[in-house]
């Protein structure tokens, strides 16, 4: 890769997510050369992907061009590249655009959908981890209704109007709530020819409560909110297969559906060269020490979702969400500069800022360390925090205006089916 060497140490960062970007920002204007690699030319604000899928926001509003984030930083280089492997012994990153030498390597490749080895579910279900996936899901949801109009076969029509969401973490809960609001507010107007009361939203969770990473109060209240919106919640049910038509589960329950959304888990997006043996833990995350160093190397680091730093409070690593990623990125930035200045590095200490999820208008649950609350105030807090963490002034303004508009009008206008519409029903 034709990036000129300078007298500065070269730090290669793989991934422009929360972890990679917060590290990059820390290293700005320092005497290091930074090369950031990502397979997209933009940073995605993943917590709002479900709003793209449900027509509430436009994709460009929750993403941001990586080059623009880095444009004021000297000594920075971005390359749109797919990393194929890393060779920590020879300091090489192998990509589809060539080989890159590094002095320090930071793996911030995030996480990917975990199908737990079930390739049938992987093939037939929809995921929601990227912008293209979210746009696909948006198209599919709308296509379902267009197709439901065309069939007189009741079973077929019901399957098209049945949405099964697997996994009741924040993603699953937020998506279920948004779909329920669409059912109530938009479908009856948009599809007067359809009996939209038949629309079913099923949320399936393998454990005994939803939002199981949050407090019991949050779980309970979220359940009440969802049920008020008409979402069917199935707890202690494990989905075992889906052939594109029928969902089977560990119990007698089955669902006939054209749409299975898989939000049941994520795993580390590891990279060849550090993806086997001692390097990885349960959940396929790369094991790191308290300085985010990968086992056996001093100059190779992993941060964010892909990294597993074991601690007393979190023996399986920190939760795979934005906060640990952002904090680790910042801390590693400091540590790298310390190291280069031959000062000792500082161990990472996670500041748990809590968790939150929104269910629908005026309905959210928030767990702070010393204060847990639910309802309309939680909803305002949720919105404020998400606006605050969005990158870019324009994005914040556009998202804010969309939210105000959607709130006042009970609407979501980003309802374009952009992909070519392939009909699935035969006639």
Does 9 bind a copy of itself (CB under 8 A)? Our answer is: no
Residue among 133 and 311 whose Cβ is closer to a copy of itself: 133
Tell which positions 49-88 bind a copy of itself, by CB under 8 A: 58-61, 63-65, 67-68, 71, 77, 79-80
Question: Which whole-number Å values give the CA distances from 403 to 138, 345, 390, 400, in the listed order?
Answer: 18, 43, 14, 5
CA distance 185 to 166: 24
Does 392 bind a copy of itself (CB under 8 A)? Our answer is: yes
**Per-residue x/- marks for a copy of itself, 296-335, CB under 8 A?**
----------------------------------------
φ, ψ of residue 215 in degrees (nearest 5): -70, 160
CA distance 165 to 174: 11
For residues 145 and 417, the answer to whether their CB atoms sit within 8 Å is no
3-state secondary structure of 29: coil
Does 395 bind a copy of itself (CB under 8 A)? Our answer is: yes
φ, ψ of residue 271 in degrees (nearest 5): -125, 140
Residue 283 beta carbon to a copy of itself: minimum distance, rounded to whole angstroms: 27
Does 418 bind a copy of itself (CB under 8 A)? Our answer is: yes
Residue 44 beta carbon to a copy of itself: minimum distance, rounded to whole angstroms: 9
Rounded to 5°, the CA angle 391-185-160 comes to: 95
- DSSP letters along 173-233, please? HHHHHHHHHHHHHTHHHH-TTS-GGG-EEEEE-SSSSSSTTS-HHHHHHHHHHHHHTT-EE
Q: First-to-last CA distance in the chain?
A: 52
79 CB-contact burial (10 Å; exposed 0-12 / middle 13-18 / buried 19+): middle
CA distance 253 to 274: 40
In this chain, which of 98, 116, 243, 376 binds a copy of itself, going by CB under 8 A? Answer: 98
For residues 94 and 85, the answer to whether their CB atoms sit within 8 Å is yes
**Per-residue x/- marks for a copy of itself, 107-136, CB under 8 A?**
------------------------xx--x-
In this chain, which of 89, 150, 368, 376 binds a copy of itself, going by CB under 8 A? Answer: 150
Residues in contact with a copy of itself, total (CB under 8 A)?
59
Which region among 19-27, 36-44, 255-263, 279-287 touches a copy of itself (by CB under 8 A)?
36-44
In this chain, which of 16, 27, 34, 42 binds a copy of itself, going by CB under 8 A? Answer: 42
Residue 335 beta carbon to a copy of itself: minimum distance, rounded to whole angstroms: 27
Residue 42 beta carbon to a copy of itself: minimum distance, rounded to whole angstroms: 5
Residue among 368 and 397 whose Cβ is closer to a copy of itself: 397
Beta-carbon contacts of 369 under 8 Å, excluding residues fewer than 6 positions away, are 352, 353, 354
Does 39 bind a copy of itself (CB under 8 A)? Our answer is: yes
Which region among 100-108, 114-122, 185-193, 258-266 touches a copy of itself (by CB under 8 A)?
185-193
Residue among 61 and 109 whose Cβ is closer to a copy of itself: 61
Question: Which whole-number Å values give the CA distances from 181 to 153, 201, 234, 322, in the listed order?
Answer: 26, 11, 19, 26
Residues in contact with a copy of itself by the rule CB under 8 A: 1-3, 39-42, 58-61, 63-65, 67-68, 71, 77, 79-80, 96-98, 131-132, 135, 142-143, 146, 149-150, 152, 189-193, 392-395, 397-398, 401-402, 405, 409, 411, 413-421, 423, 427
């Amino acid at each position: 890769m034709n990036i000129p060497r300078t007298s500065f140490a070269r730090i290669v960062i793989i991934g422009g997510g929360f972890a990679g970007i917060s590290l990059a920002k820390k290293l700005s204007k320092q005497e290091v050369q930074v090369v950031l690699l990502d397979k997209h030319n933009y940073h995605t604000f993943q917590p709002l992907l479900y709003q793209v899928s449900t027509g509430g926001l436009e994709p460009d509003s929750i993403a941001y061009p990586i080059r623009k984030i880095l444009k004021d930083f000297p000594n920075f280089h971005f390359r749109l590249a797919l990393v194929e492997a890393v060779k920590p012994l020879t300091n090489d990153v192998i990509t589809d655009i060539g080989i890159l030498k590094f002095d320090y390597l930071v793996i911030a490749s995030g996480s990917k959908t975990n199908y737990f080895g079930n390739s049938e579910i992987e093939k037939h279900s929809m995921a929601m981890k990227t912008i293209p996936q979210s746009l696909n899901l948006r198209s599919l949801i709308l296509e379902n209704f267009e197709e439901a109009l065309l069939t007189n076969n009741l079973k077929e029509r019901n399957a098209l109007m049945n949405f099964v969401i697997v996994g009741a973490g924040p993603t699953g809960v937020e998506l279920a709530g948004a779909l329920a609001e669409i059912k109530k507010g938009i479908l009856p107007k948009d599809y007067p020819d359809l009996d939209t009361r038949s629309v079913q939203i099923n949320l399936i969770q393998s454990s005994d409560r939803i939002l199981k990473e949050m407090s019991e109060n949050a779980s309970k209240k979220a359940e009440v909110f969802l049920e008020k919106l008409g979402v069917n919640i199935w707890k202690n049910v494990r989905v075992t297969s889906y052939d594109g038509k029928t969902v089977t589960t560990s119990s007698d329950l089955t669902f006939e559906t054209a749409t299975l959304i898989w939000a049941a888990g994520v795993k580390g997006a590891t990279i060849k060269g550090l993806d086997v043996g001692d390097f990885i833990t349960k959940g396929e995350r790369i094991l790191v020490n308290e300085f985010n160093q990968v086992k056996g190397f001093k100059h190779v680091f992993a941060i964010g979702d892909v990294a597993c730093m074991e601690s007393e409070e979190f023996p399986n690593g920190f939760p795979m969400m934005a906060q640990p990623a952002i904090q680790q990125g910042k801390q590693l930035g400091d540590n790298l500069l310390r190291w280069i200045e031959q000062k000792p590095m500082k161990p990472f200490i996670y500041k748990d800022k809590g968790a939150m999820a929104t269910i629908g208008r005026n309905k959210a649950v928030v767990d702070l360390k010393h204060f847990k609350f639910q309802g309309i105030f939680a909803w305002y807090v949720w919105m404020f925090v998400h606006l605050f963490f969005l990158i870019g002034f324009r994005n914040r303004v556009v998202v804010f205006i969309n939210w105000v508009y959607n709130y006042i009008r009970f609407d979501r206008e980003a309802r374009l089916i952009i992909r070519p519409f392939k009909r699935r029903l035969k006639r």
